[in-house]
């Protein structure tokens, strides 16, 4: 029996957060939604999360701030960071904090889906047989 992967989706854009949550629930994931980085850290502290999708630019704490916090706490969690304002410096900081992937918005759902599956395979040797 395969476990259900849990995905944390953190973005201050409620419509995007809820849309992605629905897409990934239909694909067999349990989804946890956070509107900012502080809430994402609370969720990770209390829930079992297998992969996180983090927006770089949010009020109260950025996706990069979440990633750096997890790194300092030695929490091993594949994180995919997304930003509409991606530049080489931001990408370098994210990679230094062990981001699994860093991508520029907008990004197609199919591309996010593939990144999430790559993260699950890489970190957990998870089979790619989740629903589409």
Q: Residue 76: which CATH number? A: 3.40.50.2300
Q: DSSP secondary-structure letter at 111?
A: H
Cα(53)–Cα(34) distance, rounded to whole angstroms?
10
Q: Confirm whether 98 is domain-assigned.
A: yes
Q: Confirm whether 33 is domain-assigned.
A: yes
Whole-number pLDDT of residue 1: 37
- Count of the separate structural domains present in the chain: 1
Task: Quote the distance between the C-alpha of residue 34 and its chain's center.
Answer: 11
Q: Confirm whether 84 is domain-assigned.
A: yes
Position 7 pLDDT exceeds 70: yes
Mean residue pLDDT of the chain comes to 92
Domain that holds residue 22: 6-124
- Read off the pLDDT band of 2 (50, 70, 90): low
Q: Confirm whether 109 is domain-assigned.
A: yes
CB atoms closer than 10 angstroms to residue 70? 21
Q: Confirm whether 1 is domain-assigned.
A: no
Q: Confirm whether 129 is domain-assigned.
A: no
Q: Confirm whether 132 is domain-assigned.
A: no
Beta strands in 11-65 (DSSP E): 30-34, 51-55
Cα(120)–Cα(4) distance, rounded to whole angstroms?
11
User: Model's pTM, two decimal places?
Assistant: 0.93
Nearest to 33 by CA among 51, 58, 14: 14
Which DSSP helix (H) or strand (E) runs through 55?
strand 51-55
Percent pLDDT > 90 in the chain is 83
Whole-number pLDDT of residue 9: 98
Q: Confirm whether 131 is domain-assigned.
A: no
């Amino acid at each position: 029996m395969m476990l259900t992967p849990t995905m944390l989706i953190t973005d201050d854009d409620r419509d995007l957060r809820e849309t992605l949550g629905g897409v990934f629930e239909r694909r067999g994931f349990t989804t946890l939604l956070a509107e900012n980085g502080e809430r994402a850290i609370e969720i990770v502290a209390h829930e079992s999360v297998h992969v996180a999708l983090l927006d770089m630019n949010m009020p109260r704490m950025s996706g990069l701030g979440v990633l750096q916090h997890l790194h300092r706490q030695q929490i091993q969690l594949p994180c995919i960071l997304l930003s509409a304002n991606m530049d080489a410096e931001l990408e370098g900081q994210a990679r230094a904090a062990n981001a699994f992937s860093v991508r520029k918005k907008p990004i197609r759902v199919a591309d996010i889906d593939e990144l999430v599956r790559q993260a699950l395979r890489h970190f957990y040797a998870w089979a790619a047989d989740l629903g589409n």
